[in-house]
Structure 1
């Protein structure tokens, strides 16, 4: 998809994205990131520290939310700024379904420099998991 600034308006929605996460995804992410904190793979430990179950890595949740924007732009390199606040963990049960992160977004601002700000909403189990999530992207004039 080739986005053009002249074709974008404030309020335009991004195509939604639904990303399933199962425990094996967490193991693969741990291996790739080097983050082997037991709250991401050991149910007993996660519950001992007060969590309801094993949770997805925050940075993995952030990455799947970023995919919403990169899918829309068609170019991950178009993202010039991206930030989130972690507000609630994504709990990943030990079953075939795991958890699903539901993502949506909309154009919230067109900046004078030709970049576009996108507001992102991320939910799992019908609750927000990221706060203040937004990306600034550069699109073709």
Structure 2
């Protein structure tokens, strides 16, 4: 009888995790790249479209998240809120000069981006001072810090 009760509890706990955002994160964390994210769930596409339609003169690879992803997306926490975060470049060669870091809230309702552009042919010691940052999705100061930190890890 005790074994049945333990098995039942294990099933209930597994069911709770399967229905929660934690299961979504475990399924996405380390398995999804930014350039494939919009095809995994139409809610991501809808959310990203809300971000980019407010912006002018964005490259197509940013609008469609269709560039090259060099790393898997990861789960990151900012002030108690969880986000799925990852990098994207137009191409592998372009990553040295232009990179996008995106963050989607766990519930997929909000998305933010940091498009960083370093002018080509600058010496490495001057490029951080000359980098142009473009924020997408109107991130608050905490989100800007998260995106900047993620950019620094790339």
Q: Which structure dedicates a bigger proportion of its chain to helix?
A: 2
Q: Structure 2 length as normaliser, TM-score?
A: 0.25
**Which of the two has higher C-alpha Rg?**
2
Higher relative contact order (CA 8 A, sep 6+): 1
Q: Structure 1 length as normaliser, TM-score?
A: 0.27
Q: Which structure dedicates a bigger proportion of its chain to strand?
A: 1
